Amino acid sequence: MIEFSETRITNLILHKVSIEPGNCRVNDSEYDLGESDEENTLKKIFLKPFTAAAATYEFSHEINLELNPLYKLSAAISDNEDFIGTSKNIYQHLKSVSKHPNIKDGDLFIIKYRNLKMNNKFYDGLGIYKVENKENFVETNITDKGEFRLTFKKGIGSRKLDKACLILFTEIPYTVLIIDNAPVETDYWMNEFIRAGLKNDNINNTNHFLTLAKSYITGQMPEEYNVPKTTQIDLLNRSVEYFKNHETFEKEEFENEIFHDNGIIDSFRKFDETYREENDLKSLENFVISTQAVKKQAKIFKSVLKLDRNFHIYIHGDRELIEQGIDQDGRKFYKIYYQEEL
């Protein structure tokens, strides 16, 4: 999703957020980064998780985007206004929406970046992170007497980020990447603090259509045409291959290459229309294909034929090399043809 090898941290500040007023702490100064090792460590902790992000978002508001608090505060930082003062306002905004009794205390990191790379373009950006759970680690030391001493501490390391958003200062309303690994009852991070919706871009368009195709092939199509599992897997494989082998998506071309039959194509189009209405999606006739999204989706397009609990057959190639049948004793079987054993 993003690349950060050339990214630099320009500003960093830390506040403490709690639903108990006495546990809150507001910082009046930025952290002064020292050696490059510190910066590299922070980038791995705070940026690496976003390289696997599956969707992009944008700020939203039901009346006017200017009324979205985090959008306005992010824009202020993009315009190089007072970083410390604006970070305090971000802290206050988060504190104001943290009303649910299940919300945990946490360290609030606010970091401004330069040279975040996405889709081969560089952008400045803003990272906002709430760290609620810390991991245990052991620090080893040698005393003046030459004795080893173990110190047990809690800190931030390689575990998943609890809550985070990375705002890239692209064209307004900016591109937002979101992480929320907390329980569903505390959805304030997405719905109240950030207030974002899916962005209409090539990443989400690719995700939407692949999900739609998979839903049709494994759900609606077998109901209408009694399609066997092997054919479903073949269609899923060919769908992914289409996206891997094309730079742009053309809906009519995809339908003809994958389904061939006019009756199935008409069925798919009806399913497409219903699916878009139910999920409030625009018509996806053509768009630039996102290679990152295809890689992500390919992992969940299962090409595995499961037979009872005895066999799993991975099907990656020609459907014509597999035969299905029932022997004279009523036992079901698959016959597989191949040229060599690898």
| pLDDT at residue 131, as a whole number | 92
Single out the residue in 168, 199, 230 at which a domain terminates.
199
Which residue ranges in the chain fall short of pLDDT 70? 158, 183-186, 300-305, 310-319, 342
Please count the CA atoms within 13 angstroms of the CA of 96 that sit on its side-chain side: 11
Is residue 1 assigned to a domain?
no
pLDDT for res 315: 66
| Cα–Cα distance, 160 to 182 (Å, whole number) | 11
Positive or negative, the CA dihedral 316, 320, 321, 322 is: positive
| Structural domain of 278 | 203-336
Do 214 and 93 share a structural domain? no
Q: Which residue has the tokens 């940026």?
A: 47
Q: 165, 194 in Cβ contact below 8 A?
A: yes
- How confident is the model at residue 287, as a pLDDT? 94
The number of beta carbons lying within 10 Å of the beta carbon of residue 324 is 13
Q: How many helices (H) and strands (E) does the chain have?
A: 10, 15
Tallying the residues shown for the chain, one arrives at: 342
64: left (phi over 0), alpha (psi -120 to 50) or beta: beta
* Distance separating alpha carbons of residues 38 and 56, to the nearest angstrom: 28
Residue 2 domain-assigned (yes or no): no
- Rounded distance, CA 111 to CA 102, Å? 26
**Are 37 and 74 members of one domain?**
yes
pLDDT, position 158: 67
Residue 341 lies inside a defined structural domain of this protein = no
Q: Looking at the 3D structure of the chain, how many domains does it have? A: 2
Q: Is the domain of 129 the same as that of 228? A: no
